[in-house]
Chain A
């Protein structure tokens, strides 16, 4: 079973890049990645640039319009994602709880099961 972990945080919640706090925080991601890989559940993941860099497309009156910014203006913004594959929700929640973003208290992780397309076609 695959789960997407969507990482969200408020702007400026995590320590400044290069600071001492940042060093340990970044190292924690290294540990998480390593442990997840060893457990055989890591299927990918990337951080993303802040919402100020986002471009959103939406069709309106038959025309595709382009907006500068994210699809939804929220206080917490998506800052990255992971894809994991594991037994069940409990296991996914365990890995989400260990995610440095949550463990350090800098933001939130949303756990979403990935749609199984093969079942969809049943």
Chain B
């Protein structure tokens, strides 16, 4: 038997989804499941854990629903409510687990990530209703005010209700497109944890862990989606580097200098096996291809051993799917490391004048490519510019070290 925390993680979204099916109202579903867990935290600690905690939660939640419905005087079936009240067997006996509760769970995820809802609200709804994070934790994670999170969640749930966003798994023809918004929301959650835009910390493990948990859930619920598996592999590979990514002094360590033995080898093994067992490898999308790039780093013993030619090939495949500026930028750097810095520079020049060219990534790429083509002076100038634009102390120190390294090269 797991802890209350384990049960919460295992049963929260299943219960919200099931209650959504029962009540047809997201707010009601959330409130009832919340109440049920509050009851559980008291009763279970007193009487011990029930045999089937999930069923217990859902039975109690359903009772709460009937209570609330009666209070609102909108009981659709008063007789049913009465039957619940008069009979009082143990919750375990009342609840019959329905087979399609997993379908409901997937429908809930699709609902939270409906394209008619803004990306930020998709993330918040997913964290609240699927991951079960309380609004105050969401507020902390994103450096929002607690009230702002509550208001946004409330407004988004009202839109779902009032605009009648359907609670269902989208038709087959729509599924890939709709799943993409789900994966994008999970990716956003992960990145917020991995590369926090705000706040003092360089990574937020609570968010990266939550994103990985959500990603696993989607893989289980939608086992035929190649890209879902690709995203899971990508997140596992990326997260596996965490222990080596921050130095003892709290600075960000670039990939080039990370001590690879510190990477989570077990997580890398899992990610590799996810990639090997993709349901339909030919249906690879941007997440799968990014995971393949990450795999090249994961299997290279040292940075110098990285097979950059393979990586360039993966970027070429990404470009064939969607030639975004960010992909072009990464491809440019990969070309440089693969031994073609001039092609990399040419690719970068294509980006001049775009929005990407104003960012830090562009300058860093330029610096690396100058260095790779032997133009130390120009490289140093670029690094200096990147450094001056950085707000994070940790990143600034890391760039200082890189600059010092270029000025007086030593063995790595």
Contact = CB atoms under 8 A, between A and B. Distances in A.
A89 B74 contact: no
B73 to A, nearest CB: 9
A93 B164 CA distance: 11
A95 to B, nearest CB: 14
A89 to B, nearest CB: 5
B43 interface: no
A59 B162 CA distance: 30
A88 B164 contact: yes
A111 B163 CA distance: 9
A70 interface: no
A88 B74 contact: no
A113 B164 contact: yes
B166 interface: yes
B44 to A, nearest CB: 37
Contacts of B114: 89
A87 B163 CA distance: 11
A87 B165 CA distance: 10
Contacts of A87: 164, 166
A1 interface: yes
B164 A1 contact: yes
A77 B164 CA distance: 26
B170 interface: yes
Contacts of B170: 90
B303 to A, nearest CB: 47
Contacts of A90: 165-166, 170
B168 to A, nearest CB: 9
A16 interface: no
A93 B114 CA distance: 12
B166 A113 contact: no
Main secondary structure on A side of the interface with B: mixed
B163 A113 contact: yes
Interface residue tally on A, bucketed by range: under 10
A111 to B, nearest CB: 8
Nearest to B166: A88
B27 to A, nearest CB: 15
A113 B74 CA distance: 22
A46 interface: no
A93 B162 contact: no
B116 interface: yes
A20 interface: no
B116 A93 contact: yes
A122 B76 CA distance: 13
Nearest to B74: A122
Nearest to A94: B174
A1 B164 CA distance: 8
A122 B166 CA distance: 22
Given A90-B170, A122-B74, A113 B162 contact: yes
Interface string B149-167: 0000000000000111110
Contacts of A122: 74
Nearest to B178: A90
Nearest to A115: B162
A43 to B, nearest CB: 16
A115 to B, nearest CB: 8
A41 to B, nearest CB: 14
Interface core residue of A1, A87, A113 (most chain B CB under 10 Å): A113
Contacts of B74: 122
Nearest to A113: B163
Interface of B: 74, 114, 116, 162-166, 170
Given A88-B164, A90-B166, A113-B162, 9 more contacts: A1-B164, A88-B165, A88-B166, A89-B114, A89-B116, A89-B166, A90-B165, A90-B170, A113-B163
Q: Which 3 A-B pairs have the closest CB atoms?
A: A88-B166, A88-B164, A113-B163
16 contacts: A1-B164, A87-B166, A88-B164, A88-B166, A89-B114, A89-B116, A89-B164, A89-B165, A90-B165, A90-B166, A90-B170, A93-B116, A111-B163, A113-B163, A113-B164, A122-B74
